[in-house]
Amino acid sequence: MKQRQEPLIFDLSREGRMGTTLPEVDVPEISIENALPEGGIRKDLPLPSVSELDVIRHFTHLSERQISVDSSFYPLGSCTMKYNPRVNERISRLPGFTSVHPLQPEETVQGALTLMYELERYLAEIAGMDAVSLQPVAGAQGELAGMMVVRAYHQSREDDARTTVLVPDSSHGTNPATAARVGFQIAKIPSNERGTVDIDALKGMLGPNIAGLMLTNPNTLGLFETDVVKICEMVHDAGALLYCDGANMNAILGKARPGDMCFDVMHFNLHKTFSTPHGGGGPGAGPIAVKDFLKPFLPVPVIEKDGNRYWLNYDKPQSIGRLHSFYGNFLVMVKAFAYIRMLGAEGMREVSENAVLNANYIMSKLKDIYPVPYDRYCMHEFVATAKEHKKRGVKALDIAKRLLDMGFHAPTVYFPLIVEEALMIEPTETESKETLDAFIQAMIEIDRESREDPDMVAHAPYNTPITRVDEVGAARKPKLTCFGE
Amino acid sequence: MLQSIGAPSVDTLFEQIPAEARLDRNLRLPPGLAEQDVVSLLEGMAARNKHLGELTCFLGAGAYDHFIPSVVDAVISRSEFFTAYTPYQPEASQGVLQSIFEYQSMVAALTQMEVSNASLYDAGTALGEAIIMAHTTTKRNTVLVSRAIHPHYMQVLSSYVSGLGIKIGKADYADGVTNLTAMREHLDESVAAVVVQYPNFFGGIEPLEALTEAAHAVGAFMIVCVDPIALGLLTPPGAYDVDIVVGEGQPLGIPVGFGGPFLGLFACKQEHMWKMPGRVVGATTDSEGRTAYTLTLQTREQHIRREKATSNICTNQALMALAATVYLSALGKDGLRHVAELTFQKAHYAQQQICGKAGYSAAWNVPFFKEFVIRSDKPVDQVNQRLLDNGILGGLNLGKYYPELENHMLLCVTERRTKEEIDRLVELL
């Protein structure tokens, strides 16, 4: 990565420059002033004026100050930063996909509808569920859709007392945030000494006020919830539904299915499990899958098939409604579709086998120096603790920063919240043993440094474009645009 | 590797999955394909869609066929941007962070608001978030939404806020814009926000000044959903003291893509920034005093506040925000103004020509930008079928959304349409 600072694009601005060329007006002109209400024309527009070369150089310089999957191993736990196959990009740029208007007549978009319909069927099979909606555009929106379905189900039975949703203390923050968005109260279930849901505590919490349980499986510690079938029974016996946060599906593709574990509703993250790129923070896609009895509540429109013709059905009186201006992030779906077709059933299973193998391999090499609080085989990721390092003055965050110096992205740190000084490491299946070994070496090296020169580690990084950032200052005096003081 | 792990086989690692939950067969998926075969398969599926290179597009209604300069795709195709995650580690993510800071600055400039977030999903969901923000800030439970907003946005925001005890009141329109008199009658101190679109769904330019005064008179927020291209020409909502501006960023260098990924714009007054949804980037310094950018105001967010977060949103539309940033950089203030004027002139030419034709007339006499409503003697579907048979994608049949607008069509003309194409449309009507 480049050390050189890059000015803001606004600072490159010179009057009269433009980064493209535009045609002249080819129709008879009218007076804009007369056609608009008085005061309706804008006077000032403080956007930069730069040449096309300025634009390209500026953003190229910025790209040189950025770490990515293509440049570096990216073991960011819970995020599944696998390689993004380039064929997906090529396909998703076909004009037959990019240049199709969402409101075109159905007979002119049969290819797009076929793709969506078939992708729904593939995801339903992978989930062990009956029906899928591709509409949610991110994991958190998938959760929102799923929990709205849960609410609609209870409402349809006039079971209005179910106002509380249970979430484990190890859950993603989006689970409680989403359930609150849907109007539920939240109650937190503690984890047991094995890192999974405490069954006795759960038993005590279930009752006629519980709408559902949101469970990530494997959970955020990278551990399979071994009691999942029992948990499902208990939850169902109490009249509540079971929601699966599918963020960790990369661990169980073709090996186990949430539907078979008796989950009622789940979401996928196409940008995690199905290789679509993260784009520096999005766009993603968060389709949901449900059992048959929840199908009437899925968002509209629903894609239907009559013979060889596909169409959009809006006539779903029990639907939770619409959650996106159109049908979701279609071009992301195209990439996930291509990925599933490339891999097929065997390829899917191999993804999870290699993801789990890679995670266990790193864990086996590091657990003596970075202890794991729950010492058992992990799934696709594991959580280690740096609490011993902290005693020497080196926190999990410092280890993360030192890894940046060594050319790796950092693991997720301080999550899940139940592990002190957590380092959450997810290698994914696409990395070679050589890359894993290099990462392991770096972690061993940092451990050595933490003994010999903890202060040095505590002030890392040094080789990055910038050093530690004043985050407190950023929040205390927020400067969110280049204007003003 | 297995030796190091101390496991006899990979299967051993999966034994923690209880037998009753394990899948004992292959997934029923089509067999895997080689790269060349998957390309052929998908090319075949793409070929079964008619795209806008084959059809001349006069359809808008929330997805717009504006020209995308080549630099946009050149930049967003750089894998340093598209294969990165959310920039959690600022020391190694200055590229994405600075581009988002520039995006936020451009959205603030365009809307003339003080602050912007790092993007939301699309206009519909951004409206839902804006309403929730107004509700939590004012602690009031009713919002008044103009019927002249996109009917899909109306559906999205209704589902979005359905669990929070927020009542959606609908304000009718008259002569193609929100009915100010009717709006005033519904306004009282229970109203958290007034919501309009600018230009509205019918293309009409709403009287923002009067609407905002009316909303503020009862202490309600004014929320405006914008078309960013129109803001190249029209007075921005910030000039009217509105509280929150959201918008559909798709016209800013993002393809229509069968409806997504799009880009939710979100900007507001500085005093409300701690209640904003989603990611936000701020400028600060590093330990050596150099300018640095970082995610900030994070105590609003779900990973820290959990159920008390201002929103559940984390993944947003960052790459689309980058596309918009590159688009606005390439056009700049002169280019965006020029695109807006081209669009405006061509739309007005088309509207005049169509209204000069027997059997067609303007539904209302109202100032508009790039979309307008035409009343036809013939059913819209019949008109559109004839156009489609001739390679033209006609306007939206409004009767499907508004029963009172039978035989009305919403047409859109962007800078991409030539005089020749417009004349051909008119000829075929």
Q: Of A21-30, A32-41, A187-196, A266-275, which range is least confident?
A: A187-196
Strand pairing partners for B246? B225, B266
Q: What is the mean pLDDT of residues B18-29?
A: 95
Q: What is the pLDDT of residues A181-192, one digit of tens each?
A: 999 999 999 999
Of B127, B332, B114, nearest to B226 by C-alpha is B127
Which helix (H) or strand (E) segment holds residue A229: the answer is helix A228-237
Task: Give the number of residues written for chain A.
Answer: 485
d(CA A218, CA A424): 14
| pLDDT over 70 (residue A485) | no
Q: What is residue A2's three-state secondary structure? A: coil
pLDDT band at B276 (very low <50, low <70, confident <90, very high): very high
pLDDT in tens, B178-215: 999 999 999 999 999 999 999 999 999 999 999 999 99
Q: CB of A308 within 8 Å of any CB in chain B?
A: no
Q: Which residues contact A241 (CB under 8 A, 6 or more apart)?
A: A150, A153, A211, A212, A213, A235, A264, A265, A294
Q: pLDDT digit string (tens) for B316-344?
A: 999 999 999 999 999 999 999 999 999 99
pLDDT band at A217 (very low <50, low <70, confident <90, very high): very high
Confidence grade of residue B39 (pLDDT, cut at 50, 70, 90)? very high
Q: What percent of chain B has pLDDT over 90?
A: 95
In A102-180 the beta strands, taken as DSSP E runs, fall at 131-133, 164-168
Residue A369 identity (one-letter amino acid): I
Mean pLDDT over residues B161-167, rounded?
A: 93
> B331 vs A47: CB contact, 8 Å cut-off?
yes
Mean pLDDT of chain A: 96
Restricting to A residues 141-160, those with a Cβ less than 8 Å away from any Cβ of B are: 141, 143-144, 148, 151
**CA A148 – CA A135 distance, rounded (Å):** 13
Query: Domain B71-326, CATH 3.40.50.970 — does that match?
Result: no
Amino acid identity for residue B347 in this structure: A
Q: Spell out the residues 6+ positions from residue B386 whose beta carbon is closer than 8 angstroms to its own.
A: B428
CB A315 within 8 A of CB B116: no
Judged by CB atoms closer than 8 Å, whether chains meet at B84 and A278 is answered as yes
In CATH terms, the superfamily for domain B56-69+332-428 is: Aspartate Aminotransferase, domain 1 (3.90.1150.10)
pLDDT at A2: 80
Q: Comparing C-alpha atoms, which of B315, B336, B360 is closest to residue B107?
A: B336
Which tokens belong to A379?
């799934």
Percent of chain A whose predicted confidence (pLDDT) is above 70 = 100
3-state DSSP percent of chain B in helix, strand and coil, to 5: 45, 20, 35
Express each pLDDT in B210-262 by its tens digit: 999 999 999 999 999 999 999 999 999 999 999 999 999 999 999 999 999 99
Q: Report, as an integer, the average pLDDT of A285-300.
A: 98
For residue A347, give both structure tokens. 């390829």
Mutation target to probe the A interface, by most A beta carbons within 10 A, among B42, B70, B226, B252 is B42
CA B108, CA A474: separation in Å to the nearest integer?
Answer: 19
The answer to whether the Cβ–Cβ distance between B83 and A357 falls below 8 Å is: no
pLDDT greater than 90 at residue A346:
yes
DSSP letters for B205-271: ---HHHHHHHHHHTT-EEEEEE-TTGGGTBPPGGGGT-SEEEEE-TTTT---GGG-S--EEEEE-GG
Query: What predicted TM-score, i.e. pTM, was given to this entire model?
Result: 0.98
- What count of CB pairs under 8 Å joins A to B? 670
Q: Where in chain B is the domain with CATH 3.40.640.10?
A: 71-326
Say whether pLDDT at A422 is over 80: yes
* CB B319 within 8 Å of CB A335: no
Which residues of A are less than 8 Å from B306 in CB distance?
173, 176-177, 186
Terminal Cα distance for chain B, rounded: 70
Contacts of A346 in chain B (CB under 8 A): 26, 32
Residues 189-218 of A with CB under 8 A from B: none
To probe the interface with A, which of B106, B329, B383 has the most A CB atoms within 10 Å?
B329
Taking residues B292-317, report their average pLDDT.
87
- Contact list in A for residue B105 (CB cut-off 8 A) is 8, 10, 481-483
Cα–Cα distance, A265 to A479 (Å, whole number): 41
- A420 secondary structure, DSSP code: T
**DSSP readout, B293-338?**
EEE--GGGSHHHHGGGSS-S--S--HHHHHHHHHHHHHHHHHHHHH
**Digit-coded pLDDT (tens) for B369-397:** 999 999 999 999 999 999 999 999 999 99
Please tell me the predicted confidence (pLDDT) of residue A292. Answer: 98
Structure tokens at A38: 């008085």
Nearest chain A residue to B345 by CA: give it: A29
Mean pLDDT of A323-339: 98
The 10s digit of each residue's pLDDT in A42-68 is: 999 999 999 999 999 999 999 999 999
Does ipTM exceed 0.95? yes
When pLDDT is averaged across residues B68-75 and rounded to a whole number, the result is: 98
Residues 6+ apart with CB under 8 A from A188: A166, A167, A168, A169, A176
**Are A327 and B98 a contacting pair at CB < 8 A?**
no
Mark yes or no for CB contact B95/A66 under 8 Å: yes
Burial profile A176-197: b = 16 or more Cβ within 10 angstroms, e = fewer:
bbbbbbbbbebeebebeeebbb
What is the model's pLDDT at position A158?
A: 97
Give me the domains of chain A, ranges plus CATH numbers: 9-63 (no CATH), 88-342 (3.40.640.10), 345-471 (3.90.1150.10)
Q: Give yes or no for residue A127 having a pLDDT over 80.
A: yes
In this predicted structure, what is the pLDDT of residue B252?
98
